[in-house]
Amino acid sequence: NGEERIVCYYTNWSVYRPGTAKYSPQNINPYLCTHLIYAFGGFTKDNTLKPFDKYQDIEK
């Protein structure tokens, strides 16, 4: 379709950056992006999804 897409890319390790470079999901403005790519996840040996960083992906 002809609609504009604004794709935002968020990495799960950005929460571990020091100081003002730290960026967490709470910082994402949902009105700026039409699509959000979350990096990274993982797969088990039988190809099911698994968290890459359990603390950030599940416990937080």
**CB neighbourhood size of 11 (10 A):** 13
Give the H or E element holding residue 43.
Answer: strand 41-43
Q: How many residues does the chain have?
A: 60
Q: Please name the amino acid found at residue 30.
A: P
Q: Which two tokens stand for residue 33?
A: 């992006």
Give the burial string for 31-53 (b: 16+ CB within 10 Å, else e).
eeeeeeeeeeeeeeeeeeeeeeb
The tens-digit pLDDT sequence of the chain (60 residues) is: 678 999 999 998 898 999 999 998 889 998 999 999 988 888 999 999 888 887 777 765
What is this structure's pTM? 0.67
Q: Among all chains, which residue has been given the structure tokens 């999901």?
A: 25
